[in-house]
Copies of this chain bind each other. A is one copy, B any other.
Amino acid sequence: MTTGVGVIGATGLQGGELLRLLRDHPEFALRHVSRSADGPAVPIGDVHPHLGDGPWDGLPLGPADVRAAARDCAVVFLATPPEVSAALAPALLAEGVAVVVDLSPAFRLSRPAAHRRWYPRVPRAEPVPAVYGLPELHRAALPGARLIAVPGCLATAAILALLPLHGLLARLGLRLASITVDGKAGSTGAGASGGSAHALRAGTVAPYAPSGHRHAAEITEALTGQGLTTTDGGLRLGMSVFGVDLVRGVSVAVHASVDRPRASRRGIAVAEHYAEFYRAERFVRVREWRRGPVPLPDPKATTGSNHCDVAAFHDLEADRLVLVAALDNLVKGGAGQALQACNARFGLPEDLGLTAAPLYPA
């Protein structure tokens, strides 16, 4: 008794990754694939040179067809631009699709004002309240969800780096002054057609968002209510993102500036706190850093897997905590997380279809 699923936007990089993961999923059966834009129907293999035979054989890859998708699928994944997702999600739900899993940012920010500010060109109706699909944070809200907003890749890394911080600060007796997220991102984040030509992108450290990255709003909203506040009473968080010469993968360094009150307890191991916090999580690996050829966390050690690797360091010199998180933006930062959240939605083991080890070195 498998569940029929569809992928709209199957020609992009996240769409291709969804196909790769769904190919081997034991409970979800692919019944619909389509493009986000108009265009001639083409075989999957023409678009995704790695994909040979698969459950997509015989499925026409033509323009999005809401009615057909709704007829054949209980779940539809949207790997579409946000303005397309904003239109398709309500339509699919209205047609009776049980669950829409949207990989775009169309429904990530729950507060309408925040959404309007950061996505002014993405007007959205709110067909149903969306659940922010980070299972490590919103696991309880996923069963029964009808609309799941899959988090951004940098946001996923930053949030998973930050979740244990509140408890750690309490144990250390430290107060948080400010947070700066310094992200490094691979070129797949820009999509198959949106990125720079190789000649211009290879060998860069390109400050494409020195400030004002949209994921900062996602991170802030996700952390609101988790107890973490800066000394100004809110959650003062800056974010800068750099494009580096990397295909898959993002890394974030969260620099948390702390104030030392009277009786700070320096002796508590930050690494140990993080390890305890994530002990039960299947996909978050707390890494021990080692000097040598392979200091961790590094996105290179997560390629192709749904892992997010995390480490925490206490910089006593500078009264600073450094939290580093790395993941594959097409898996834990995209298609993999979408599948994990969808597994949770249906009460399945979260790692169903997601057990592959990373490919290393690649």
Chain A residues within CB distance 8 Å of chain B = 13, 16, 20, 23-24, 46, 48-52, 54, 177-178, 180, 182, 184, 186-188, 190-208, 210-212, 216, 236-240, 242-249, 251, 253, 255, 257, 285, 287, 289-291, 293-305, 307, 311, 313-315, 317-320, 322, 324, 326, 355-362
Among B50, B238, B242, B300, point to the contact of A320 (Cβ < 8 A).
B238
Among B207, B255, B294, B300, point to the contact of A203 (Cβ < 8 A).
B300
Copies in the complex: 4
Q: Which of A188, A212, A236, A247 has most chain B Cβ within 10 Å?
A: A247
Is B212 a contact partner of A317 (Cβ separation < 8 A)? yes
Q: CA of A23 to CA of B305 in the docked complex: distance in angstroms? A: 14
Give the 7 A-B CB pairs with smallest separation, nearest first: A238-B318, A50-B360, A211-B315, A198-B201, A50-B358, A205-B251, A187-B198
| Chain B residues, CB < 8 A from A236 | 318-319
Known: A190-B197, A197-B195. A324 touches B210 (CB 8 A): yes
Identity of the chain B residue whose Cβ is nearest the Cβ of A285 in the assembled complex: B52
A308 to chain B, nearest CB (A): 12
**Interchain Cβ contacts under 8 Å between A and B, 29 examples:** A20-B360, A23-B357, A24-B357, A50-B305, A51-B358, A178-B178, A178-B318, A180-B257, A182-B182, A182-B253, A187-B197, A190-B199, A193-B197, A195-B197, A198-B198, A198-B200, A198-B202, A203-B247, A204-B246, A207-B311, A210-B311, A211-B313, A211-B317, A216-B317, A237-B318, A238-B255, A243-B295, A257-B257, A303-B362
A30 to chain B, nearest CB (A): 13
A234 to chain B, nearest CB (A): 10
Is A304 a contact partner of B301 (Cβ separation < 8 A)? no
| Chain B residues, CB < 8 A from A239 | 318
Known: A182-B182, A249-B203, A317-B238. A208 touches B257 (CB 8 A): no
| Chain B residues, CB < 8 A from A307 | 52
Is A303 a contact partner of B211 (Cβ separation < 8 A)? no
Among B20, B290, B302, point to the contact of A50 (Cβ < 8 A).
B302
Q: CA of A186 to CA of B240 in the docked complex: distance in angstroms? A: 19
| Chain B residues, CB < 8 A from A322 | 210-211, 238, 240
Is A320 a contact partner of B211 (Cβ separation < 8 A)? yes
Among B187, B297, B320, B324, point to the contact of A178 (Cβ < 8 A).
B320
A327 to chain B, nearest CB (A): 11
Q: CA of A30 to CA of B358 in the docked complex: distance in angstroms? A: 19
Q: CA of A208 to CA of B324 in the docked complex: distance in angstroms? A: 11
Known: A50-B358, A204-B300. A245 touches B245 (CB 8 A): yes
Further contacts, 16 of them, CB under 8 A, given A49-B301, A210-B253, A211-B314: A50-B359, A178-B257, A180-B182, A191-B197, A191-B199, A195-B198, A196-B198, A197-B197, A198-B247, A200-B361, A205-B326, A206-B294, A238-B315, A238-B320, A247-B361, A356-B356
| Chain B residues, CB < 8 A from A301 | 49-50
Q: CA of A113 to CA of B242 in the docked complex: distance in angstroms? A: 36
Is B188 a contact partner of A361 (Cβ separation < 8 A)? yes
| Chain B residues, CB < 8 A from A192 | 197, 199-200
Is B20 a contact partner of A357 (Cβ separation < 8 A)? yes
A16 to chain B, nearest CB (A): 7
Is A315 a contact partner of B196 (Cβ separation < 8 A)? no
| Chain B residues, CB < 8 A from A178 | 177-178, 257, 318-320
